[in-house]
Amino acid sequence: MNGLLNVSRRKFLQATVVGGTGLVLGVSFRSAEAAAPQRFEPNAFLAIDGSGRVTIWVAKSEMGQGVRTALPMVVADELEADWAMVHVEQALAEPKYGRMGTGGSSSVRNSYLPLRKAGAAAREMMVSAAAARWGVEASGCRAESGVVLHAPTGRRLAYGELVAEAAKLPVPADPKLKDPGQFRYIGTPMPRVDIPAKVNGSAVYGIDVRVPNMLVATVVRCPVVGGKLSKLDDSAARAVPGVRRVVPMESGVAVVAESTWPALRGRQALVVSWDEGPHAGLGQDSIWQQLETAVQKPAAVARATGNVTRALAAGRTLEATYQAPLLAHLTMEPQNCVADVQPDGCEVWAPTQVPDRARAVVAKLLGINPERVVVHTTFLGGGFGRRLETDAVVEAVQLSRAVAAPVKVLWTLDDDFAHDFYRPPSVHRLFGALDAAGQPLAWLHRLSVPSRSPERLKNGIDEGALTGALQVPYGFPNLAVEFAASATPVQLGAWRSVAHSYNAFAVESFIDELAHFAGKDPLAFRRSLLAASPRHLRVLDLVADKAGWGRPVPKGRGRGLAVHESFASVVAEVVDVVAEGTGFRVERVVCAVDCGTVVNPNTVEAQVEGGVTFGLSAALREAITIDQGRTVQTSLSEYAPLRMREAPVVEVHVVKTNEPPGGIGEPGVPPLAPAVANAVFAATGKRLRKLPLQPPSRGTG
């Protein structure tokens, strides 16, 4: 058979080279890299060689949000590099990069200043090197697009000619940063560097990695969380041609084969019975009941202003309960990882959001120094928080150790559905009060959501689960937020925009309900309570203008609004829906975004468009339910996410500002669900308080 073993490392290398943005090979615990002569490498993020070629290392994971372009743009701008000479590399997991985790929409936000400084320091060193060569004052020289110029004499030296001298200079600790008016790349729409490889098939994701002698494994796991293997008959599986080994392991039973097809067939041939453990009876009804019961009585106070109890007793009150379900991440690239455990270390290739954590986990698992672990971050076929977990990495390492060969562990999409770290389910009870004149008097939000782990609770409060509820921006004189702690055996994790995803639904739905209760326009009502939040006001005004808020809407249509701050950005969205039969259709979404300084406008727009579509898919359709301890929805047809034919028109308008950059991968998601529910109310008079708003009927698709 012309099998996997024929596909050599050469091929793998080729694939990465074609992409131009692929993996770094040859830097490993096995081969110490010889320092290239004539190379200027003042810090972890950039190097310039004698030809003037600039290498910029990206320490964040590219999962579609454009970091492989945006972060180098920041470095190149301060460096005054010529973009045509810039070559981008993915960084290996190393402490010199600091925290590498890609999540919380933090990449540009947290790297912005350090990367500017890294670029600026290198620029100053280039200028100093040139000034010294010419024997002139550095202040009389300037850098421009990869060249140092001395205006009085018209002399010029390219960066490549200066590397040897610059490399000997001290690195300035506090280089002078550019004035935003001088930015060359920041704020300019730049084509993404990863896109050419993503339209010709050469982009290398984790699933595409091959190393010599690599085996492929699939793992069957107990469908019930906490279950264990009780009986295994692997004779049929081992009889499948190409299957090498069947390995019972902590997470299940692995079939290790020469390539993917026999691994999948072998898995099907396994005869396994499980001891389903203590959670085999768990059902969705009991999950909801637990949360609903928890919000019936006062809970731990996480924030309080004024006296809510008294204000609620004094005013005209409104009360509503909202519910948001468990959700799956559904990255299109199933979980996978390649590990090669060697006697003296381990090399890992993973589509991971946390290469640094993966490195630590592998080192601990193998009982070796992290320096003996090399983690290559590939492209990620979607992240959304799922790849903050290291479960597939652990499996690959365990299996490589067990079979003494490099192993790629590959999940199926069903595995991903059934064994995800889901967005937690939540129940929100809100109370509001208006005074006799209809002015807002009180706000009480009581939230119950199971914590991802008991350690997250401090004095009965899980602050992480409260983000977006705790910071409610509306200026109620009496305001309280309460948290009712609970737990569940279901695996929970961070799902794009994390707690904002459910808290914004409750907060922005209820403020809309209160506006109608007060007989006020939902925009005017919000504005009246946002005097202390100029960024909110600005995006509200922008979105209202662009969406034509206040203009008459034909019968059978409705327009809904929501605004929410997350990850240091504020997004307002106006959704237009059309009533259709007993349901509705989302026609258009207009967004206004304040994400501070924009590095790559092209990416910002794309992320908001994507976030809106992702958020709409969840708002309309998505829910994971649990029955008899197992996940009910294990296929696309059952989960029924949004397809092309249902995708609305999305318009994105970005506020111009020189404030520090905010996040952009997630902030488009939270306002969407409430904006849709508010639009449905405007169109039909029906208030929808449970997500998803249009659940798929069972078994369709």
Partner 1 sequence: MANLSFTLNGRPQTLDVDAAMPLLWVLRDVLGLTGTKFSCGIAQCGACTVLLDGKPMRSCVVAVSSAAGKHVTTIEGLSTDGSHPVQRAWVAEQVPQCGYCQSGQILSAVALLAEKKAPTEADIDAAMSGNFCRCGTYSRIRKAIHRAAKETAP
Q: Which one among 230, 637, 659, 698 touches partner 1, defined by CB under 8 A?
A: 637
Q: How far is the CB of 63 from partner 1 (least distance, A)?
A: 5
Q: Which is nearer to partner 1, 45 or 384 (by Cβ)?
A: 384
Which of positions 512-571 make contact with partner 1 (CB under 8 A)? none
User: How many Å apart are CA 318 and CA 220, to the nearest integer?
Assistant: 50
Residue for token digits 């609903």? 292
- Taking CB under 8 A as the binding criterion, the range among 314-322, 456-464, 530-538, 640-648 that sits at the site for partner 1 is 640-648
Beta-bridge mates of residue 584: 579
User: How many Å apart are CA 399 and CA 126, to the nearest integer?
Assistant: 49
User: How many Å apart are CA 255 and CA 275, to the nearest integer?
Assistant: 20
Binding mask 96-135 for partner 1 (x = CB under 8 A): ----------------------------------------
Which of positions 48-77 make contact with partner 1 (CB under 8 A)? 63-66
Coil, helix or strand at residue 618: helix
User: How many Å apart are CA 424 and CA 500, to the nearest integer?
Assistant: 12
Q: How far is the CB of 621 from ligand FES (least distance, A)?
A: 17
Rounded to the nearest 5 degrees, what angle is found at the Cα of 644, between the Cα atoms of 641 and 650? 95
Q: Which is nearer to ligand FES, 203 or 494 (by Cβ)?
A: 203
Residue ranges binding ligand FES (CB under 6 A): 64, 332, 382
Q: Which one among 647, 653, 684, 687 touches partner 1, defined by CB under 8 A?
A: 647
When CB distances are held under 5 to 8 angstroms depending on the partner's kind, the choice from partner 1, ligand FES, none that residue 644 binds is partner 1
Binding mask 296-335 for partner 1 (x = CB under 8 A): ----------------------------------xxxxx-
Which of positions 6-25 make contact with partner 1 (CB under 8 A)? 7, 11, 15, 18
When CB distances are held under 5 to 8 angstroms depending on the partner's kind, the choice from ligand FES, partner 1, none that residue 458 binds is none
Q: Taking the CB of residue 658, how many other CB atoms lie within 10 A of it?
A: 11
Q: Which is nearer to ligand FES, 398 or 613 (by Cβ)?
A: 613
When CB distances are held under 5 to 8 angstroms depending on the partner's kind, the choice from ligand FES, partner 1, none that residue 405 binds is none
Q: How far is the CB of 330 from partner 1 (least distance, A)?
A: 6
Q: How far is the CB of 382 from ligand FES (least distance, A)?
A: 5
Structure tokens at 467: 């983000």
Q: Which is nearer to partner 1, 336 or 390 (by Cβ)?
A: 336
Q: Are 678 and 508 in contact (CB under 8 A)?
A: yes
Q: Which is nearer to ligand FES, 244 or 496 (by Cβ)?
A: 496
Q: Which is nearer to partner 1, 231 or 643 (by Cβ)?
A: 643
Structure tokens at 440: 């807002």
Q: Which one among 23, 47, 361, 380 touches partner 1, defined by CB under 8 A?
A: 380
Q: What is the DSSP string of 546-565?
A: HHTTTS---TTEEEEEEEEE
Q: Which one among 37, 241, 278, 550 touches partner 1, defined by CB under 8 A?
A: 241
Q: How far is the CB of 323 from ligand FES (least distance, A)?
A: 28
CA distance readout (Å), 406 to 216, 294, 491, 620: 9, 49, 29, 42
When CB distances are held under 5 to 8 angstroms depending on the partner's kind, the choice from partner 1, ligand FES, none that residue 194 binds is partner 1
When CB distances are held under 5 to 8 angstroms depending on the partner's kind, the choice from partner 1, ligand FES, none that residue 11 binds is partner 1
Q: Which is nearer to ligand FES, 332 or 524 (by Cβ)?
A: 332
Cis peptide before 692 (omega within 30 of 0): yes
Burial environment of residue 323 by CB neighbours within 10 A (0 to 12, 13 to 18, 19 or more): middle
Q: How far is the CB of 648 from partner 1 (least distance, A)?
A: 8
Q: Taking the CB of residue 511, how many other CB atoms lie within 10 A of it?
A: 26
Q: Are 589 and 648 in contact (CB under 8 A)?
A: yes
Q: Which is nearer to partner 1, 277 or 641 (by Cβ)?
A: 641
Task: Tell which residue, 12, 406, 23, has the closest CA to residue 216.
Answer: 406
Q: Which is nearer to ligand FES, 63 or 186 (by Cβ)?
A: 63
**Strand ranges (E), 487-608:** 557-566, 569-580, 583-594
Residue 133 region by backbone torsions, left for phi larger than 0, else alpha for psi between -120 and 50, else beta: alpha
Q: How far is CA 659 from the centre of its chain?
A: 23
Binding mask 193-232 for partner 1 (x = CB under 8 A): -xxxxxxxxxxxx-xx-x-----x----------------
Q: How far is the CB of 488 from ligand FES (least distance, A)?
A: 29
Task: Tell which residue, 163, 160, 127, has the closest CA to residue 142.
Answer: 127
Binding-residue total with partner 1 (CB under 8 A): 71
Coil, helix or strand at residue 266: helix
Q: Are 518 and 440 in contact (CB under 8 A)?
A: yes
Q: How far is the CB of 214 from ligand FES (least distance, A)?
A: 21
User: Does 387 sit near partner 1 (CB under 8 A)?
Assistant: no
When CB distances are held under 5 to 8 angstroms depending on the partner's kind, the choice from partner 1, ligand FES, none that residue 612 binds is partner 1
Which of positions 243-282 make contact with partner 1 (CB under 8 A)? 259-261, 264
Which of positions 397-416 make contact with partner 1 (CB under 8 A)? 410, 412-413
Structure tokens at 697: 């009927």
Q: Are 671 and 504 in contact (CB under 8 A)?
A: yes
Identify residue 323 by its one-letter amino acid code. Q
Binding mask 603-622 for partner 1 (x = CB under 8 A): ---xx-xxxxxx--x-----
User: How many Å apart are CA 197 and CA 64, to the nearest integer?
Assistant: 13
Helix pair angle (500-517, 601-620), 10° resolution: 70
Chain residue whose CB lies nearest ligand FES: 332
Q: Which one among 270, 407, 642, 676 touches partner 1, defined by CB under 8 A?
A: 642
User: How many Å apart are CA 269 and CA 236, to the nearest integer?
Assistant: 6
Q: Are 346 and 324 in contact (CB under 8 A)?
A: no
Q: How far is the CB of 420 from partner 1 (least distance, A)?
A: 13
Q: How far is the CB of 527 from partner 1 (least distance, A)?
A: 30
Q: How far is the CB of 430 from ligand FES (least distance, A)?
A: 35
Q: Which is nearer to ligand FES, 164 or 332 (by Cβ)?
A: 332
Rounded to the nearest 5 degrees, what angle is found at the Cα of 467, between the Cα atoms of 463 and 470? 85
Run of H or E including 289? helix 284-294
> What b/e sequence results for 9-20 when a residue is b if at least 16 CB atoms lie within 10 Å of its CB, and e otherwise?
eeebeebbebbe
